[in-house]
Amino acid sequence: KDHDGDRGEYALGRAGSSTGRARYVQQVERVRAYIGAGDIYQANIAHHLSCKFDGDPLACAQDLQRGAEPRYGATMRFEHRDL
């Protein structure tokens, strides 16, 4: 479970959004109105996804970074939480 190749296993449950479709559509329409009014020219609409997780957080983080190829990325390990 370290950077030397001894990778742990992990499993992810189905992801779900806490925003909901109706709220997301409302946010999109609001952004479109701002664009139409000339107040903005673009926006990033984000929403929270969550899922059940079991296993090695570092292995999951490595796979996510490999897939997304972020310019800057980090994994922080704490006693009771990994980010």
3-class secondary structure per residue, the chain: CCCCCCCCCEEECCCEECCCHHHHHHHHHHHHHHHHCCCCCCCCCCCCEECCEEECHHHHHHHHHHHHCCCCCCCCECCCCEC
Question: pLDDT digit of tens for each residue in the chain (83 aa)?
Answer: 445 567 799 999 999 998 889 999 999 999 999 999 999 999 999 888 899 999 999 999 999 999 999 998 888 989 998 88
Q: Which two tokens mark 46?
A: 């984000």
Please check whether residue 48 lies inside any domain of the structure. Answer: yes
Please check whether residue 43 lies inside any domain of the structure. Answer: yes
Please check whether residue 47 lies inside any domain of the structure. Answer: yes
Please check whether residue 1 lies inside any domain of the structure. Answer: no
Please check whether residue 76 lies inside any domain of the structure. Answer: no
62 is in which domain, residue-wise? Answer: 10-68
Whole-structure pTM over 0.75, yes or no? no
Please check whether residue 77 lies inside any domain of the structure. Answer: no
The pLDDT of residue 73 = 85
Q: Structurally, how many domains does the chain consist of?
A: 1
